[in-house]
């Protein structure tokens, strides 16, 4: 079921990231799309910190393309596919392995050109005046799963 929700401020975006992290399981992904500056990295950072530790340094992987993190419950890989030139590159830098051993948060999933992981939560963040709106679309194992805020 598709769910729309308002993100009135950065704290709301962080809360959404934390809620998604608590629901995330091994072999699943969270795909974040939206324009530059919409809050994808804020959400990804909150997700990673919830799975690792609150003060985890979580730089944007814009130039490294991927960062790997170990957590007590689940390992997480943070992919930023903005600079990819082909979908194959995501798999060459370890997307399959990340999902085999943990989970993945993927910024700019449209760069995969339809080769998205089957068990994923798509989150599209859009500007809505000064605030943002998130549209959550579950696929595969995510269908029917509730998020606890």
Span 34-58, pLDDT tens digits: 999 999 999 999 999 999 999 999 9
Handedness of CA 114, 117, 121, 127 (dihedral sign): negative
76-134: pLDDT as tens digits: 999 999 999 899 999 999 999 999 999 999 999 999 998 999 999 999 999 998 889 99
DSSP class per residue in 92-121: HTTHHHHHHHSEEEEESGGGGTT---SSEE
Q: Is the pLDDT of residue 63 over 80?
A: no
pTM check: above 0.75: yes
Interval 19-41 mean pLDDT: 96
* List of domains in the chain: 3-142 (3.40.50.300)
Looking at residue 94, its pLDDT comes to 94
Arithmetic mean of pLDDT, 62-81: 92
Mean pLDDT value across residues 63-71: 90
Q: How far is CA 125 from CA 7, 43, 149, in A?
A: 9, 10, 18
Q: How far apart are the C-alpha atoms of 70 and 90, rounded to whole Å?
A: 20
Higher pLDDT, 63 or 102: 102
Alpha helix (H) residue ranges in 25-138: 40-51, 88-92, 95-101
Task: Specify the pLDDT at position 130.
Answer: 85
d(CA 114, CA 107): 14
What's the pLDDT score for residue 144? 92
pLDDT, residue 61, reads: 79
* Residue 4, pLDDT score: 94
CA distance 66 to 69: 10
């Amino acid at each position: 079921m598709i769910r729309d929700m308002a993100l009135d401020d950065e704290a709301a975006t962080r809360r959404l990231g934390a809620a998604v992290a608590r629901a995330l399981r091994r072999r699943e992904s969270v795909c974040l799309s939206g324009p530059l500056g919409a809050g994808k990295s804020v959400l990804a950072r909150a997700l990673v910190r919830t799975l690792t530790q609150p003060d985890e340094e979580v730089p944007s992987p814009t130039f490294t393309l991927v960062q790997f993190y170990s957590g007590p419950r689940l390992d997480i890989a943070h992919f930023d596919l903005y600079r990819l030139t082909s979908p194959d590159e995501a798999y060459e830098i370890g997307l399959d392995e990340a999902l085999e051993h943990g989970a993945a948060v993927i910024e700019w999933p449209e760069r995969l050109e339809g080769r998205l992981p089957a068990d994923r939560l798509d989150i599209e963040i859009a500007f809505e005046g000064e605030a943002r709106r998130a549209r959550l679309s579950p696929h595969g194992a995510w269908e029917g799963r509730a998020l606890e805020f």
